[in-house]
Amino acid sequence: MNQPGYQPYFSVNLPGRQALSKVWRSLFLVTTAIAVVFLVILVGTLINQSVGYVAIETKTPIASLVSDGHSLEELDKAELVTLLQQNLTTGRYNTLNASEPMETRAKSDLVNLVYTEVLEPEVQETWLLTESIFHGNRIKAEAAELHPDALLQFKSWLNFNLLKTTQSSDPLASGIRTALLGSIWSILITILVAFPLGVGAALYLEEYARDTWVNRMIQTNINNLAGVPSIIYGMLGLAIFVRTLSVITSGAAFGLGSGGSENGRTLLSAGLTLALLVLPLIIINTQEAVKAVPDTLRQASYGLGATQWQTIWYHVLPNAMPGILTGTILAISRAIGETAPLVVVGAATYITFDPNNVFSRFTTLPIQIYQWSSRPQAVFQHIAAAAILVLLILLLSLNSFAIVLRNRYRK
Amino acid sequence: MDSPNNSENAIEVSGLNIYYDKFRAVKNVSIAIKQKKVTAFIGPSGCGKSTMLRSLNRMNELIPSCHTEGKVDFLGQDIYAPNVDPVEVRKRIGMVFQKPNPFPKSIYENVAWSARINGFKPGLGRPSMDEWVEICLRKAALWDEVKDKLHQSGLSISGGQQQRLCIARTIAVQPQIILMDEPASALDPIATLKIEELMRELADEYTIIVVTHNMQQAARASDYTAFFTMDEDRSGILVEYDKTEKLYTNPSDSKTEAYISGRFG
Amino acid sequence: MDLSKHSRPAEILIKAFLVFCGFFSILITVGIIYEVGSEALLFFSNPQVNLWKFFTGTVWQPQAQEFGILPLVNATFMTTLFAMMVALPLGLGVAMYLSEYATPRVRKVLKPVLEVLAGIPTVVYGYFALTFMTPLLRQIFGVDVVNIYNTASAGLVMGILILPLVASMCEDALSAVPQSLRDASYALGATKFETVVKIVLPAAISGIAAAVIVAFSRAVGETMIVAMAAGAGPNFTFNPFKSAETMTGHIVRISGGDLSYDSIDYNSLFAIAILLFLFTLTLNVISQRIVRKYRRKYE
């Protein structure tokens, strides 16, 4: 639509302006694409690290146990037990027998025992998934040349053994069992402490607190606490739970704990520290959920002669519960992934036994990942990647559960 | 294109349908708006008159679910033709909204910005930017009230003044048509009166289309009035369109009569 | 009929518990200031520590009784700088795209992606820095130039970590700008770009400023990425490809080892921690002030 002369004061150059508009639009699109690409690369890196070729050499050649071309699986149970008796020291055999008698063990278990105890496999070299797929032949040639006695295996580091076994200096036998249990125990403590405290605080602020300077200060304080770096909570946990309250957190006061010594570096300290960390998040999320409950509901309840607590308990809480649970789950998944505060509180660097009470020494999944990642050997990077995948799957399923919950109850 | 003075109609709408998703908000409207007159759209709330107004400069496109069928000719050219740029349309058909919405910039900048983005060229034989801002503010009958505080925020003045600032800002682009969507509904009676007077004055230079649910306002300020209502599907339809005087004194449709005499709506 | 007041002990008990919960958060803050502060005070009152040297010294070597915090602060700001270089432009771009351009359907896909990015634990990002970013930097700039541990790699990955935070805060700020302003701009014949950049962005600027401040505070307090990828050992260097230890990284490394309580080393960690706390607290308070202000502006 050109009307020369009608708008004498203007020179519009619309095509130029529209072109500029398009350029910027694509720029914004590109930034968004970059964010997505990062996520893809991150997941790609993890998968790339957690599957691939491995060259494994056994200390005892397999040919010395079974005749050529046959495998351990072809032997029967009695033969496997004999193999174990012949090749292990009597002490080791008795230990294994004591933990579970050879007769009652499954055959696959016996095969495993022969494999790890007698053959003693050792990782010589590992390859990434991309290398394994695109340069398979080169890897085979390389392996044949550099590690002639080794067996080249296509291995997924993410497997059930990873979940079942404890950590070990042998990467092939290393697992996350202790760490996973430690994570679960500490999170349970966190939930038990932070959930009632957090919901209570939110109810106080939303339902009881008047607009006084004290309550405004509490609110501001909670908002500020949510932004405090997690490592500061670690320092707080170290000062209060590990040191000042060590009589309690070590279990010494109850005659429990490890060796009666007052060592506060326990699951209880870890769980409590994480509870302080997520408390502000739970409070803020719960407040949002409680705020969303319509006032008409409260008025209706009061109108029927209910007390304030009856109103909260029978009307406010049930209506806010999906929101509260969603917020809590999100806060808890934050706690599951936390590493720094627990390093400060004193997670154990090497621990192989399952926690049996809250006064146990502990490690958690993120800490295990941190320790494996810091190792120089490449093989531990693969295990770390597999452990990360376990952690991410755990968090993702928690989060999707929270989202399903939220969508289900949203009217 | 013809000089605008040759044709008497500023806008000719034919067979216009406007949908929000599946819901038809405006059904089969045809109307011809006269140039340099004030035309009022009246009708009960929800009858689609605002939707109708927003379709005249393609503001409705900013709502994703909204789509339009039919023809809207602006000085003989269909503004919904595929090669038409909505930005071009809006520059020539400005709009003033229900609630005053000055930008969070100074009074001066509110006016100057709109001129500037449209490539305002000050200089020989043309006003300077300062002069242009003054001209526009004068036309909007605001100059005397704000000339000493041009660099205060546009949000610092009263609601009525803000609305006149929004009108000044629209004039600064030199549009041919100004659409006004209930421009006085958020204002007090005195500010409302000022806006109405302003509309009359602006009609010397511009075509003005105003949506209002205040019938007195339509009677006082407009030359032509179009009455919209809802049909049984809750879609907006045009019932009657005529000179304001005629429509108010001698409506030809019984629904119009019922509405203006206050019996429904 | 008795309408007089009578006490309801259960209600009072419950209320007492809720009041306690409400005040508990104050206890946490007091705990941080008292516990961490008193250990820090022990450090500062130690005759071996000179306050002037603490803030200006460029050597941090507890074994040699050298406590100059500058190397740690310097490394912290180096990683933060890199993080901001990634997170601010990308985060703002993503926010602009999501709030102004994306169709509802695209937004529905992209928002969860950002939420996933935001939900990934920092230890995973640390691993990512070690196994992806560092090798990449070494490939680009040369193995001799880039150390295995370096602040650039940690900072860049930290930028990805903070990106979703910046994006979501900026998006909140942008969508708080009333639609009427956009309408006004379009009605004046502005293009989309002119509307977004010259009207919406300036109107949202305070919210964006708040996002920048929070991102900054988050980067300063971030721990695992720098502990894993930036390096172990305080090092006063401005070379982003050299290893250097940040304040948080130092706390994690030292406290993760065997540390005897009541030593000056132990106390020094609390001195670093209280500085970190005060610094991030100040930033957070400022950003909250800003957010409250812009919320009020458009309500």
pLDDT of residue B131: 92
Mark whether A189 and A68 lie in a shared domain: no
Q: State the pLDDT at residue A4.
A: 37
Determine contact: B84 vs chain A, CB below 8 A: yes
- Mean pLDDT for chain A? 85
Give the mean pLDDT per block of 10 residues along chain C (299 residues): 73 91 93 92 87 87 85 94 95 93 88 87 94 93 90 95 94 90 91 90 91 94 93 88 93 82 86 94 91 70
Mean pLDDT (whole number) for A209-233 = 92
- What are C258's two structure tokens? 């065997």
| Residue B6, pLDDT above cutoff 50 | no
| CB pair distance less than 8 Å for A9 and B120 | yes
Residue B2 has pLDDT above 70, yes or no: no
Question: Measured between alpha carbons, how far is B34 from A349 in angstroms, rounded to an integer?
Answer: 85
The mean-pLDDT minimum among A379-388, B114-123, C83-92 falls in B114-123
Is there a single domain that holds both residue A342 and residue A392? yes
Q: How far apart are CA C242 and CA A341, in angstroms?
A: 26
Distance in Å, alpha carbon of B88 to nearest chain A alpha carbon: 7
Task: For residue C129, give the amino acid letter.
Answer: A
- pLDDT at position C1, please? 62
Nearest-CA neighbor of B118 among B56, B170, B59, B61?
A: B170
Q: Which contacts qualify for B193-202: CB closer than 8 Å, 24 or more apart?
A: B194/B141, B194/B160, B194/B164, B195/B160, B195/B163, B195/B164, B195/B167, B196/B220, B196/B221, B197/B141, B198/B140, B198/B141, B198/B164, B198/B167, B199/B38, B200/B38, B201/B139, B201/B141, B202/B139, B202/B167, B202/B171, B202/B178
What length is written for chain C?
Answer: 299
**Residue A119 and residue A228 share a domain:** no
Same domain, A106 and A208: no
How far is residue C4 from each of residues B114, C1, C13, measured CA to CA in Å? 68, 9, 21
Cβ-nearest to A38 among C22, C160, C284: C160
Rounded CA separation C218/A227 (Å):
8
Is B7 in CB contact (< 8 Å) with chain A? no
pLDDT digits over A129-154, tens only?
888 888 888 888 888 888 877 778 88
Residue A262 lies in a domain: yes
pLDDT score of A117: 76
Q: What angle do CA B109, B114, B115 make, to 5 degrees?
A: 95
Q: Contact A310/A298 with Cβ under 8 angstroms?
A: no
Subunits with at least 3 CB pairs below 8 A relative to chain B? A, C
Q: Could you tell me where the beta strands, DSSP code E, fall in chain C?
A: 60-61, 66-67
- Tell whether C190 lies on the interface with B, counting CB pairs under 8 A: yes
CB B213 within 8 A of CB B228: no
> Looking at chain B, which residue has its C-alpha nearest residue C201?
B104
Do both A139 and A267 map to the same domain?
Answer: no
The encoded tokens of residue C129 equal 């820095």
Q: Are A111 and A153 in contact (CB under 8 A)?
A: no
Antiparallel, parallel or unpaired: β B9-20 and B23-34: antiparallel
Whether the per-residue pLDDT at A71 is higher than 80: the answer is no
Pairing mode, strands B66-74 and B77-78: antiparallel
Place of tokens 């560092």: C134
Interface membership of C258 toward A (CB under 8 Å): no
User: Chain B contact for C203, CB < 8 A?
Assistant: yes
Q: How confident is the model at residue A67 (pLDDT cuts 50, 70, 90)?
A: low
Together in a domain, A244 and A371: yes
The mean pLDDT of A274-283, rounded to a whole number, is 96
CB contact at 8 A, B119 and A13? yes
pLDDT digits (tens, 9 = 90+) for C177-222: 999 999 999 999 898 889 999 999 999 998 999 999 999 999 999 9
| Mutation for C interface: A46, A233, A235, most C CBs within 10 A | A235
Say if C180 is an interface residue toward chain B (CB within 8 Å).
Answer: yes
Domain map (residue ranges) of chain B:
4-260
The beta-carbon neighbor of C228 closest among A36, A197, A370 is A370
pLDDT value at A7 more than 60 = no
Chain C hits for B118, Cβ within 8 Å: 188-189
B4 in A contact zone (CB under 8 Å): yes
CA distance A277 to chain C (A): 10
Interface check C257 vs B, CB under 8 A:
no
Note the ipTM here.
0.91
Q: What is the 3-state secondary structure (H, E, C) of A93-124?
A: HHHHHHHCCHHHCCHHHHHHHHHHHHHCEEEE
Highest mean pLDDT among A263-267, B15-19, B77-81: B15-19
Is the domain covering C55-298 a CATH 3.40.50.10860 domain? no
CB-based contact C188 B90, cutoff 8 Å: yes
pLDDT of residue C218: 94
Mean pLDDT of chain B: 88
Contacts of C286 (CB under 8 A, 6+ apart): C213
Size (chain A), residues: 411
List residues in chain B touching C: CB distance below 8 A. Answer: 57, 59, 62, 64, 86-88, 90-92, 94-97, 99, 101-105, 113-114, 117-118, 166, 169-170, 172-173, 179
CB contacts, 8 Å: C189 with chain B: 87-88, 90-92, 94, 114, 117-118, 173
**Is the CB of residue C177 less than 8 Å from the CB of residue C162?**
no
pTM: 0.83
Q: Would residue A30 count as lying in a domain?
A: no
Asked whether residue A302 carries a pLDDT value surpassing 70, the answer given is: yes
| CATH architecture of the region B4-260 | 3-Layer(aba) Sandwich (3.40)
Closest CA of chain A from B171, distance in Å: 12
Quickly state the pLDDT bin for A261 (edges 50, 70, 90): low
The pLDDT score that the predictor gives to residue A2 is 41
Asked whether the predicted pLDDT for residue B134 surpasses 80, the reply is yes
The Cα–Cα gap between B185 and B188 comes to 8
Sequence-separated (6 or more) residues with CB below 8 Å from residue C63: none
Query: How far apart are the C-alpha atoms of C144 and C151, rounded to whole Å?
Result: 15
Within this chain, do residues A210 and A80 fall inside the same structural domain, yes or no?
no
Q: What are phi and psi of C280, to 5 degrees?
A: -65, -35
**Higher per-residue confidence, A276 vs A73:** A276
What is the model's pLDDT at position A68? 64
Phi, psi of A54 (to 5 degrees): -135, 135
Question: What are the residues whose beta carbons fall under 8 Å from the beta carbon of C100, sequence distance 6 or more?
Answer: A28, C174, C192, C196, C200
The CA distance from A293 to the nearest CA of chain C, in Å, is 19
Are β-strands B9-20 and B66-74 bridged in parallel, bridged antiparallel, or unpaired? antiparallel
CB C68 within 8 A of CB C60: yes
Interface of C with A in 69-128 (CB under 8 A): 89-90, 92-94, 96-98, 100-102, 110, 113-117, 119-124, 126-128
Would you give the distance in Å from CA A173 to the centre of its chain?
20
Mean pLDDT calculated for residue range B30-59: 91
Q: Which domain holds residue A65?
A: 52-155
Closest in A1, A6, A13 to B119, CB measured: A13
Domain count for chain A: 2
Is the pLDDT at A164 greater than 90, yes or no? Answer: no
B43 φ/ψ angles, rounded to the nearest 5 degrees = 150, 165
Q: What are residue B229's DSSP bridge partners?
A: B237
Residue A193 located in a structural domain: yes
Whether chain B has a CB inside 8 Å of the CB on C182: the answer is yes
Put simply, whether A13 touches B (Cβ < 8 Å) is yes
Q: What is the mean pLDDT of residues A341-367?
A: 84
C-alpha torsion angle, residues A282, A285, A288, A293 (rounded to 10): -70
The size of chain B, in residues, is: 265
Start-end of H helices in C179-261: 179-187, 192-194, 201-203, 205-221, 224-229, 247-256
The torsion defined by the Cα of C164, C167, C169 and C173, in degrees rounded to 10, comes to -170
pLDDT tens for A17-63 read 888 888 988 999 999 999 899 999 999 999 999 988 888 887 777 77
Closest residue of C to A199, CA-based? C21
